Amino acid sequence: MRRRLYAPLLTAALALSAALLPMSEASAAPADKPQVLSSWTQTGATSYNAFFAARANQSAWSTYGFDWSTDYCTTSPDNPFGFPFQNACVRHDFGYRNYKAAGTFSSNKERLDDAFYADLKRVCSAYSGIKKGSCDAAAWTYYQAVDKLGYTAVVDAKNSSSAALTWSGRSK
């Protein structure tokens, strides 16, 4: 008899304690945020599709605090020579922004760039002949840019003031 009484009381006590938690604790990102982020930034088409399904329903993921912002392909054309690279750039931006925020960008950059290249190659797989060759060349160029300059841009943005100080100290 006592067990039947304790179960509803325990449930009510847990519900009350959850309601009384400070807002900062109650609004903390779920513990599986790194796994979710990783699942959306892999090289495969399943990861790509899962990311865009989530992006279309961002409100369902609001407790995770993801940064969904994008500048698409930054200063490069989003659709070079008519090849639709914009979505690949969106997912790449998502990975860069969220891994930077998590403080784990350096250990994930190579995979993010590889996923970007896989996304670009999926775009190019829709073409054949000379058009496919042109698309593949553009994809390779975009990949090389993020591979070689992506980390530099991050470091430069974080250290622009200290880099300027170092440079001015050397020039004296």
Residues forming the active site: 92
Q: Give the HSE-up count for residue 134: Cα atoms under 13 Å, Cβ half-sphere.
A: 11
> How many degrees, rounded to 5, is the angle at CA 151 between CA 113 and CA 143?
30
